[in-house]
Amino acid sequence: MQALRASWRKIAVFLMAVMTIVVVVGTLMYVIEGERHGFTSIPISIYWAVVTLTTVGYGDLAPATTTGRALAVVLMLTGYGIIAVPTGIVTAELGRAMSPTISTQACPACGAGGHEADAVYCRRCGAKL
């Protein structure tokens, strides 16, 4: 939960970017394909963009023109990349929350570094820090 709380801003920005992509690509698809190919309105085209981007692919709408198909391919490949982004954000925050804080303090006896911030004795030789 701590990692999710720490990463909510990054995830919110990411979701806003995804929403922007969906609206822009949906609108472009409406302009490219038009009503004669089943893209009867911009909201219907945005629905198609969401289904394509999330890799669900119901198949109820499909582009018929070469330009529309090229845009669909770009959106599909973008969808695969988008799946990894929130996972990476949360994983990085989770790692940060779970790892101990490392001090830069070196042992006066043996010179070893990398001790935990609250360490009293050296991890290598046992001397007092």
What is the share, in percent, of the chain residues with pLDDT greater than 90? 56
Strand partners, 102: 116
Residues 54 and 16 reside in one and the same domain: yes
Residues 89 and 124 reside in one and the same domain: no
Q: What is the pLDDT of residues 81-123, one digit of tens each?
A: 888 888 888 888 888 777 767 777 889 999 888 888 788 899 8
Residues 52 and 33 reside in one and the same domain: yes
Instruction: Annotate 17-44 with b (16+ C-beta within 10 A) or e (fewer).
Output: ebeebbeebbebbbebbeeebebeeeeb
Residue span of the structural domain in which 114 resides: 100-129
Residues 93 and 113 reside in one and the same domain: no
Residues 107 and 89 reside in one and the same domain: no
Higher pLDDT, 47 or 84: 47
Q: Are the CB atoms for 129 and 107 separated by under 8 Å?
A: yes
Residues 111 and 86 reside in one and the same domain: no
Q: What's the mean per-residue pLDDT of the chain?
A: 90
Q: What is the pLDDT of residues 7-32, one digit of tens each?
A: 889 889 989 999 999 999 999 999 99
Strand ranges (E), the chain: none
Residues 89 and 107 reside in one and the same domain: no
Domain containing residue 42: CATH number: 1.10.287.70
Which whole-number Å values give the CA distances from 63 to 19, 46, 112, 124, in the listed order? Answer: 21, 13, 63, 65
Number of structural domains in the chain: 2
- pLDDT attached to residue 84: 82
Return the H-helix or E-strand segment holding 80: helix 66-98
CB half-sphere exposure, 109, CA atoms < 13 A: 9
Helix axes 66-98 and 2-33, enclosed angle (nearest 10): 180
- pLDDT attached to residue 115: 84
Q: What is the pLDDT of residues 53-62, one digit of tens each?
A: 998 989 999 9
d(CA 16, CA 54): 15
